[in-house]
């Protein structure tokens, strides 16, 4: 088997006959000069040109199939059998051909679609798919889907989705209680990877937030508008983020502020900090936290063998 053929067949997709494909007129072009056949025997009759211009991998396969077809002089169209199921190819072709894109409706199907576009080196198409998926409401990657997306992203080699999902898991505190719903469904190796990622983000946040407390707090808050010291409660909030990035949330911030103001009573002026000052602080703090997250990647985590995740959470 050639290297090119291996590239296409290695990431085979399971049949998905339960997914209804778009109507046949979409993929039965009367001018078709190539047939793409899915692993579950759906046929897509399309123009070579539309496929060749977006995928160097499929271009090579089409050229090989066309040459073989010419030698054999068979009356039917040249055909290529691909490892993807019909549902995946159907969605993919709506992004490739001049049609309205049809994004998948489930996480698994979306990951298969992204994997296929990446496998066939359809870089502009992959970017388009990601843009369409990102515009969905609710978002494709969100706290309740993050662990599932991360697992599938690692399975299919989708590093961008894996990193996005890993960052989204930072909304969890990584305690046994917090992860109770994920322990039975997320493979242990992936929980280990995400725990290590969580620890590395915390390690980056601590010095960054310490520095921010000294030089990054807007002057409107650094001037201590109450007798008890604004920087004290702010510092406590920064420390809480470093311990648990899940607390980086505007609601949590206001809860810290409210507790401080309520505890100190009428003499505390922190409850009256102007909204534009609070917004300036939150914008600056967001930049610091996001910068730390950007600096931390998930590359190479799979090769590290860490203690069992349960022991880390105890």
- The model's pLDDT over 204-219, given as tens digits with 9 standing for 90+, comes to 999 999 999 888 887 7
Chain-wide mean pLDDT for the chain?
80
Distance CA 163, CA 151 (A): 11
Q: What pTM value is reported for the model? A: 0.76
Distance CA 162, CA 152 (A): 8
| Token reading at 93 | 């072709």
| Token reading at 310 | 């349960």
Q: How confident is the model at residue 265 (pLDDT cuts 50, 70, 90)?
A: low
Average pLDDT estimate for 181-192: 82
Length of the chain: 314
What is the CATH class of 3-139?
alpha beta
126-149 residue pLDDT tens: 999 999 999 988 889 999 999 999
Spatial contact of 87 and 104, defined as CB atoms under 8 Å apart: yes
Strands 79-81 and 34-37: parallel
Helix (H) or strand (E) holding 61: helix 56-72
Spatial contact of 154 and 114, defined as CB atoms under 8 Å apart: no
Predicted local confidence at residue 219, as pLDDT: 73
Distance CA 87, CA 108 (A): 11
Question: Other C-beta atoms within 10 Å of 195: how many?
Answer: 19
Considering only residues 134 and 183, tell me which one the structure prediction assigns the higher pLDDT.
134
Helix (H) or strand (E) holding 114: helix 107-119
Distance CA 288, CA 303 (A): 29
How crowded is the C-beta side of 293, counted as CA atoms within 13 Å? 21
Considering only residues 274 and 199, tell me which one the structure prediction assigns the higher pLDDT.
199
Predicted local confidence at residue 176, as pLDDT: 74
CATH 3.30.710.10 placement within the chain: 3-139
One-character DSSP codes across 233-256: HHHHHHHHHHH-GGG-SHHHHHHH
Enumerate residues 6+ apart whose C-beta is below 8 A from 209.
238, 239, 241, 242, 288
- Smallest CA-to-CA distance from 26 within 85, 102, 84 is with 102
Spatial contact of 77 and 48, defined as CB atoms under 8 Å apart: no
| Token reading at 255 | 């809860």
Lowest mean pLDDT among 6-20, 161-175, 212-226: 6-20
> SS3 for 216?
coil
Predicted local confidence at residue 50, as pLDDT: 92
């Amino acid at each position: 088997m050639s290297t090119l053929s291996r590239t296409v067949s290695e990431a085979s997709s399971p049949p998905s006959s339960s997914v209804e494909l778009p109507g046949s007129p979409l993929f039965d072009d009367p001018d078709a000069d190539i047939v793409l056949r899915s692993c579950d025997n759906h046929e897509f009759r399309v123009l070579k040109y539309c496929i060749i211009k977006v995928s160097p991998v499929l271009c090579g396969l089409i050229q090989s199939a066309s040459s073989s077809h010419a030698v054999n002089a068979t009356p039917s169209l040249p055909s290529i059998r691909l490892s993807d199921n019909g549902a995946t190819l159907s969605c993919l072709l709506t992004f490739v051909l001049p049609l309205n894109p049809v994004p998948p409706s489930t996480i698994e199907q979306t990951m298969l679609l992204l994997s296929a576009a990446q496998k066939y080196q359809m870089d502009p198409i992959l970017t388009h798919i990601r843009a369409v998926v990102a515009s969905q409401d609710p978002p494709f990657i969100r706290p309740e889907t993050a662990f599932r997306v991360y697992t599938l992203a690692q399975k299919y080699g989708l590093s961008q989705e894996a990193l996005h999902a890993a960052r989204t898991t930072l909304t969890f505190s990584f305690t046994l209680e917090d992860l109770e719903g994920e322990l039975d469904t997320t493979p242990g190796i992936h929980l280990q990877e995400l725990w290590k990622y969580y620890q590395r983000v915390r390690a980056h946040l601590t010095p960054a937030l310490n520095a921010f407390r000294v030089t990054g707090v807007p002057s409107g808050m650094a001037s201590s508008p109450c007798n008890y010291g604004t920087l004290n409660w702010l510092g406590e909030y920064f420390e809480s983020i470093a311990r648990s990035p899940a607390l980086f949330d505007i609601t949590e911030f206001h809860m810290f502020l409210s507790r401080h103001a309520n505890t100190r009573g009428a003499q505390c002026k922190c409850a009256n900090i102007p909204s534009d000052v609070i917004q300036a602080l939150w914008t600056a703090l967001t930049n610091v936290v996001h910068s730390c997250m950007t600096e931390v990647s998930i590359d190479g985590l799979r090769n590290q063998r860490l203690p069992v995740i349960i022991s880390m959470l105890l």
